[in-house]
Chains A and B, each alone.
Chain A
Amino acid sequence: MKVAIKINGAQVEAEVEDRLLLAHFVREVAGLTATNIGCDTTSCGACTVLLDGESVKSCTMLAAQADGREVTTCEGLARNGQMHPVQQAFHAEHGLQCGFCTPGMVLAAVSLLAENPDPTEEQVRSGLEGNLCRCTGYHNIVRAVLAAARDAREAS
């Protein structure tokens, strides 16, 4: 079947198997490999992308379900060569080590802050319950999200 998805602002169209997962459409058809696949039970969140601005696990969607919609991946967050504030905060707070969970974690955080711009630490932790990280112990990831929230509030 034919699937057309706007990814990071660019239209990507292809003839694909009906069963193609959105995660593989992003990685293999669109060639955007920052989105990673870390599990097969919708548990780890490494595959998180934004679908029309909301975080979803792309491994648990068919590409067909995203036909005609807009997807944002980590590659699409930067503007004019500048890192997105959440990416910037992850860097400033050492919120990544091996980097495998990071794109999904960053997008989950972007979605979280879009829905709750002033979260408490507890809300950040539960807001990231769908994203596993094995390297950081989450400590600096939480600091990064809180810092990004603070920076956004101070900027506005």
Chain B
Amino acid sequence: MIPAAFAYRCPATVEEALMLAADAGEDGKFLAGGHSLLPLMKLRFAVPEVVIDVGRIAELSYIRDEGSHVAIGALTRHHDLERAALLAAELPLLACAAGCVGDPQVRHRGTIGGSLAHGDPASDLPAAALVLDAVLVARGPSGTREIAVTDFFRGLFETALEPGELLTEVRIPKPAGRGWSFQKFTKRAIDWAIVGVAVQGQHVALVNMGPVPMRAAAVEQRLAAGESPAEAAAHAAEGTSPVADINASAAYREHLARVLTARALAEAANRA
């Protein structure tokens, strides 16, 4: 219930945040909305000695039309993503996925950067970012770099971010295929997805079918080869490694992946 003691730091700029992170080294963690990190700290699963609150760096919250892509500041809240007119027009999948995260209170605090950096394959935004071919912009001690989303999620709660690196922006190309769908299957509305499917055009990504969010490669290949959505969807579980836990067996997850992919593709087709 109570986090272990730590030192709280509140930088005003990205530069300051990076310096503090460099000082703290392994003992430091960035805090954005806090709805991935603080729950872990309260149960003492995470015990950072230095917490660097980047939540007040106002310059990191924005949603901008940059022509070929939309640029989203890492500190943009799920609540704002859900309601942004620009996203409704250009990236409704992202707005929809953001609106599925947690509950209204969580969405008032949680940020896209925090969610992606947390690297939870059961979360909604990583799969959305994956299916949208996002590019993640990170700033660290050695400067700024861009990371393709396909290189970003490395393992369970593990991303390509180096120690001391801060995610600053998520760039999402405006998709060519306009049909989209987000299917999140839960027992209760507030639960993490037992399985989820994000579709944008002919791209399909899966939530909670392995240690990282993954593209349903077999499905995409078959769609590209001209198979019908229903036929392609039957292969949604190929190459996945879903866990068995209190919410579902692996076999049931594989079944859901197939069913939800078929539904997502059908819904996307209706929207195209």
Contacts and interface: CB of A to CB of B under 8 A. Distances in A.
Interface string B2-15: 11111110100000
B28 to A, nearest CB: 13
Contacts of B188: 129
B189 A48 contact: no
Majority SS at the chain B contact face: loop
Given A40-B42, A45-B105, A108-B105, A60 B35 contact: yes
Given A55-B108, A56-B105, A65-B55, A130 B190 contact: yes
Contacts of B1: 40
A126 B51 CA distance: 33
B39 A60 contact: yes
B34 A45 contact: no
Interface in A10-51: 17-19, 21, 40-43, 45, 48, 51
B176 to A, nearest CB: 32
A133 to B, nearest CB: 13
A99 interface: no
Interface residues of A, number: 32
Question: Which range contains the number of B residues in contact with the other chain?
Answer: 20 to 34
A60 B38 contact: yes
Which of B43, B103, B108, B189 has the most A CB atoms < 10 Å from its CB?
A: B103
Interface string B49-76: 0010101000000000000000000000
B106 A130 contact: yes
A131 to B, nearest CB: 8
Nearest to A55: B105
B25 interface: no
Interface of A: 1, 17-19, 21, 40-43, 45, 48, 51, 54-57, 59-62, 64-65, 67, 108, 111-112, 115, 126-127, 129-131
Interface of B: 1-8, 10, 31, 34-35, 38-39, 42-43, 51, 53, 55, 79, 102-106, 108-109, 188-190
